[in-house]
Amino acid sequence: MQWQIGRGDISFWKDNWTGRGPLVTRVLHPIPTGLKDIQVRDYLGRAGPLPPSAAFNCLPQGEIDAIFQGGFCTFDGPNVPYWPLDPSGDFSINSAWVSCRSPSPIVSWSSKLWFPQLPPKVSMLVWRTLKVVVPVELVV
């Protein structure tokens, strides 16, 4: 999940508001105690990022550059979580599955094996035979 920033009352370190994952996963050295619970609104204004401060000292230069170039700013409205892997922004099991899996190539013979008129148990038996995984008892 990612956040579209509204009022900015989300964690600067733990929430994915940059689109690159939580910043806490990329700190160079321990976050000072006083900065562990800061919120995005503490570092973003309506016009964009405020001048660098102690929080930015914990981050690699690439992250700081991404924040300043990312066009992030706060506005009056709620922070909105969205799922960047779906065009609608809504989470779905399907979009999560598609992002996690590596699709296998479509084989030409699959339509001859998997079709509604053939009982599924026959399709499974043929498929297992082709894969050489038919359960048989070993007679010695």
Question: pLDDT digit string (tens) for 51-109?
Answer: 667 778 888 888 888 888 877 777 778 888 888 888 888 888 888 888 888 888 888 87
CA distances from residue 125 to 45, 106, 113, 116, 133 in whole angstroms, order as listed: 64, 20, 10, 15, 9
Given a cut of 60, is residue 36 above it in pLDDT? yes
Helix runs in 40-119, H state only: 61-69, 93-100, 110-113
The per-residue pLDDT for 15 is: 92
SS3 5: coil
Each residue's pLDDT tens digit, 12-28: 999 998 888 899 998 98
Give the Å distances, CA to CA, from 93 to 1, 2, 65, 83, 104.
Answer: 13, 16, 33, 11, 19
- Residue 137 CA to residue 91 CA, distance in Å, equals 46
Tokens 């699709």 locate to 103
pLDDT of residue 50: 63
Alpha-carbon gap, residue 34 to 117, rounded angstroms: 67
Q: Reduced to 3 states, what is the DSSP secondary structure of residue 80?
A: strand
- Name which of 85, 134, 130 is nearest 112 in CA terms: 130
Dihedral sign, Cα of residue 96, residue 7, residue 15, residue 18: positive
pTM here is 0.62
Dist CA 130 CA 50 (whole Å): 63
Domain residue limits, the chain: 2-94
Give the single-character DSSP code of 55.
Answer: G
